[in-house]
Amino acid sequence: MKRIYLDNNATTPVEPEVLDVMLPYYREAFGNPSSVHWAGREVSGAIETAREKVAALINCAPAEIVFIGCGSEGDNHAIKGTCEALAGKGNHIITTAVEHPAVLETCEALEKSGFEVTYIPVDCDGALNLDDIERAITDKTILISVMWANNETGNIYPIAQIGAIARKYNIRFHSDAVQAVGKLPVDVQKANVDLLVISGHKIGAPKGVGALYIRRGTRLTPLLHGGHQERGRRAGTHNVAGIVGLGKACELAAAHLQERAAHMRRLRDRLEQGIFDAIPEIKLNGHPDRDQRLPNTLNVSFAYIEGESLLLNLDMYGIAASSGSACTSGSLEPSHVMGAMCVEVSLAHSSTRFSLGHETKQEDIDFVLEVLPDTVQRLRDMSPLYDCKKQQNCATCQTVKRL
Ligand SMILES: Cc1ncc(COP(=O)(O)O)c(C=O)c1O
């Protein structure tokens, strides 16, 4: 059976060059970088080299990079660490309704301990209105947190403009750039970002490693206390091999950014066009202007069918896609991102995300285009909603009719 992997926003394969540079750190170079003897010295240099590579990718100083365990940790650290460090200054956070749960649930937890959070809404395309952000600022606002790009729709947010607003009001600015890094140019200076999160497994490095950029001079309470690793900013013995792998993945991302993005964009556009040409009654979830979305991401609702059923049927052809974050949580609730975009509930349930990688081939896309229309039609033929559509008598069908 073919194996076509179109779920790169969930995770990416470790790149061969990344794995090659990691292996020695599991075998001969096994030392603890905090040790003063030869075994420790052997690996501490490798960590600093990796730090330089990560810093180069986002245009900051190596000393501003802290190695962490994953993107979720970075978001928690940035938000909770700011709230603790600046609690005397204010208790108000501004974020958006479409953030990853690593941000949203962190904010919700902080609300329980007395912080106030404004969740800025998005429009039906998932776009933000910058005036809403500026209007939400009060003299108690200590943090603005907006993702660089959305994991479900691929929508790219105007981070540099939001950074300018944060700078104007002297408010700290955090951006979850987990989906943007490696797919878009990310420059923390140009964007005026103070805190930024990278996750290794989204960019060809292994799971269990990431990086948090902390602008020099930014007071941030650590999340993990204990050892004095990372200059006291993140306790815990370093994941040396993972960090070395992250450094290599960042080096490769910097070297091939444009060419990889162009390749993914061409194939994503081919997929999008092919699906819209072949299948009626579908809805694009995300910005209609493809350039306002990540070059690898396409999210579509196929009316009358469940996204989960479509995924299982595609899986039988060896095609891996995703139906948004709902399936990963095992929840029957449609995704909060679809909800925030006012996508009608049954269409939200049918939303399907295809996220390409730089290793995706044209023949992979053509195979999806070959099997998808019949698969959708087969599922529609079995769907009670589709049956109901023929009678033209339910609210869902009226919504779908307007597509
Ligand atoms: C936008 C975004 N932020 C944060 C995360 C969490 O990253 P991690 O899986 O490394 O904890 C993800 C993972 O899907 C993501 O897409």
Residue 401 pLDDT greater than 60, yes or no = no
Identity of the residue numbered 221:
T
Q: How many residues does the chain have?
A: 403
- Determine the residue of 14, 151, 198, 201 to mutate for testing ligand 1's pocket, defined as the one with the most ligand atoms within 8 A of the Cβ atom: 151
Mark whether 342 is an active-site residue. no
Nearest to 93 by CA among 149, 123, 137, 126: 137
- The protein residue whose alpha carbon is closest to atom 7 in ligand 1 is 71
Q: How many CA atoms lie within 13 Å of 307's alpha carbon, on the beta-carbon side?
A: 29
Other C-beta atoms within 10 Å of 236: how many? 14
Both structure tokens of 84: 């603790």
How far apart (Å, rounded) are the C-alpha atoms in residues 346 and 356? Answer: 25
- Determine the residue of 7, 8, 70, 72 to mutate for testing ligand 1's pocket, defined as the one with the most ligand atoms within 8 A of the Cβ atom: 72
The fraction of the chain above a pLDDT of 90, given in percent, is 91
- Determine the residue of 98, 199, 296 to mutate for testing ligand 1's pocket, defined as the one with the most ligand atoms within 8 A of the Cβ atom: 199
Q: What is the pLDDT of residues 110-165, one digit of tens each?
A: 999 999 999 999 999 999 999 999 999 999 999 999 999 999 999 999 999 999 99
Q: How many CA atoms lie within 13 Å of 189's alpha carbon, on the beta-carbon side?
A: 8
How far apart (Å, rounded) are the C-alpha atoms in residues 80 and 205? Answer: 26
pTM, full prediction:
0.95
Ligand 1 touching residue 76 (CB < 6 A): no
Ligand 1 touching residue 229 (CB < 6 A): no
Ligand 1 touching residue 79 (CB < 6 A): no
* pLDDT score recorded for residue 326: 45
Ligand 1 touching residue 70 (CB < 6 A): yes
Ligand 1 touching residue 149 (CB < 6 A): no
How far apart (Å, rounded) are the C-alpha atoms in residues 35 and 2? Answer: 47
Ligand 1 touching residue 100 (CB < 6 A): yes
Strand partners, 67: 211
Ligand 1 touching residue 175 (CB < 6 A): no
How far apart (Å, rounded) are the C-alpha atoms in residues 212 and 181? Answer: 12
Nearest to 285 by CA among 355, 333, 389: 355
Q: What are phi and psi of 78, to 5 degrees?
A: -60, -45
Other C-beta atoms within 10 Å of 276: how many? 12
Both structure tokens of 70: 């994953």
Average pLDDT, the chain: 95
Query: Which domains are assigned to the chain?
Result: 4-9+257-401 (3.90.1150.10), 16-253 (3.40.640.10)
Q: What are phi and psi of 193, to 5 degrees?
A: -85, 140
The alpha carbon torsion through 19, 22, 27, 28 (nearest 10 deg) reads 140
Phi-psi region of 75 (alpha: psi -120 to 50; beta: other; left: phi over 0): alpha
- Atom number, ligand 1, closest to the C-alpha of residue 70: 10
R_g of the chain, CA atoms, integer Å? 22
Residue 89 — very low, low, confident or very high, per pLDDT cuts 50/70/90? very high
Cβ-count burial of 50 within 10 angstroms (0-12 exposed, 13-18 middle, 19+ buried)?
A: buried
Ligand 1 touching residue 147 (CB < 6 A): yes
Q: What is the pLDDT of residues 5-24, one digit of tens each?
A: 999 999 999 999 999 999 99
Both structure tokens of 189: 């200076």
Which element (helix H / strand E) includes 120? Answer: strand 116-120
* pLDDT score recorded for residue 136: 98
- Atom number, ligand 1, closest to the C-alpha of residue 72: 11
Tokens 């969740």 locate to 119
Q: Which of 60, 70, 107, 327 is catalytic?
A: 327
Tokens 């948004």 locate to 324
Q: Residue 225 gets which letter from DSSP?
A: -
Residue 1 — very low, low, confident or very high, per pLDDT cuts 50/70/90? confident
- The protein residue whose alpha carbon is closest to atom 16 in ligand 1 is 151
Q: Are 355 and 149 in contact (CB under 8 A)?
A: no
Residue 390 pLDDT greater than 70, yes or no = no
Q: Are 318 and 376 in contact (CB under 8 A)?
A: no
Average the pLDDT over 274-295 and give the result.
Answer: 98
Q: Are 209 and 237 in contact (CB under 8 A)?
A: no
| Residue 278 CA, distance from chain mean position | 29
**Helical H segments across 351-394, by residue range:** 362-382, 384-391
Q: What is the pLDDT of residues 212-252, one digit of tens each?
A: 999 999 999 999 999 999 999 999 999 999 999 999 999 99
